[in-house]
Amino acid sequence: MIPSPVDPRSRLAVALDFPAARPALDFVDRLEDSCHWFKVGMELYYAAGNHLIETLRGRGFEIFLDLKLHDIPNTVAGAVRSVTRTGASLLTIHASGGEAMIRAAAEAAAVPYAPKLLAVTVLTSMDAAELNRVGVSDSPARQVVRLAQLARQAGGPEMGMVCSAEEIAVLRAEVAPAPMLVVPGIRPAGAPLGDQRRVATPGAAIAAGASMLVVGRPITQAAEPAAAARAILEEIAQATAQSA
């Protein structure tokens, strides 16, 4: 489950942002086995359900189930128990759900075959202005640290985090030296930003200390997705070698 520093495929999760199972599976075929991890988010999971997860697992892939659970503690704990039956390896919860919710999720995940939990801190689509509009006056970095500290305190040392590349260094310095840090908002040099605000190139994110990268549109919307994925894998490999 934990990304290997040797195999760059273990450090890339391709986001299957599709509205149904058939186009998602057709796309997986186009990747020509260049990828090992797939992120299934709310759009696809709500449309295709557990059958899709089972299909991907049956083909040997690892699944990052990005549901960003955020509800009362009892409901989130029940959702974690339900997800455990899917065989997903990673599952996201929102750190902003609070201490009791995080603790309930962690307790529900403390069983065999449960997914590793990742606490989402501040979405990479948000910047300081967006945070201010929802009542957070601190910078994204300070809010990320605050939520990560809460998640680690309530969820224990095994709790991973989701953050942008901009917060990797401060999280490793102020929260814990070696949590699993999953980083979305990855854009190869020159790629459109889309709705992302706090972004980085694959190489920069790995060099900063990311454990795993999440990449969607730069691969899913590429004319040749397998080639786009392999280019990112090569950048990950180079950055890993330079950081060793």
In this predicted model, what pLDDT tens digit does every residue of 136-168 receive, in sequence order? 999 999 999 999 999 999 999 999 999 999 999
Choose between 177 and 207: higher pLDDT: 207
99-108 and 140-155 helices cross at what angle (nearest 10)? 50
Catalytic site positions: 68
Residues 82, 57: contact at Cβ < 8 Å? no
pTM score: 0.92
Tens digit of pLDDT for each residue in 65-112? Answer: 999 999 999 999 999 999 999 999 999 999 999 999 999 999 999 999
| Res 33: pLDDT | 85
Query: Per-residue pLDDT for 6 more than 80?
Result: no
Domains of the chain: 8-243 (3.20.20.70)
Residues 6+ apart with CB under 8 A from 207: 239, 242, 243
